[in-house]
């Protein structure tokens, strides 16, 4: 949602689905308009995607294979896991 012009846009495709994939957690920063989506791919492997206000998607480089928990620092674009 963009309060500037009251427009609504949806992210429809984050990644290609494969068997046993699950969305485990979504966290967001309302100050920076960034979302992080943790997707479990099976086999003890997770991928985190970052989606910004322009719907630009990127993969987050992690130092772990599977996340137990994740949060975003609200006033800066930092993911804590």
Domain boundaries, the chain: 22-80
pTM, 2 dp: 0.76
**pLDDT value, residue 9:** 73
- Which residues is 73 bridged to in the sheet? 78
**pLDDT value, residue 49:** 92
**pLDDT value, residue 25:** 92
Q: Per the structure block, which two tokens stand in for 72?
A: 């975003």
**pLDDT value, residue 3:** 78
Instruction: Return averaged pLDDT per consecutive 10 residues of the chain, 81 residues in all.
Output: 79 76 90 90 87 89 82 86 85
């Amino acid at each position: 949602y963009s309060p500037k012009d009251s427009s609504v846009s949806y992210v429809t495709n984050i990644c290609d689905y494969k068997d046993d994939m699950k969305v485990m957690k979504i966290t967001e920063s309302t100050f920076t308009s960034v979302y992080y989506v943790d997707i479990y791919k099976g086999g003890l492997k997770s991928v985190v995607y970052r989606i910004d206000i322009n719907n630009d998607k990127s993969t987050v480089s992690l130092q772990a294979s599977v996340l137990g928990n994740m949060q975003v620092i609200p006033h800066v674009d930092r993911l804590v896991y």
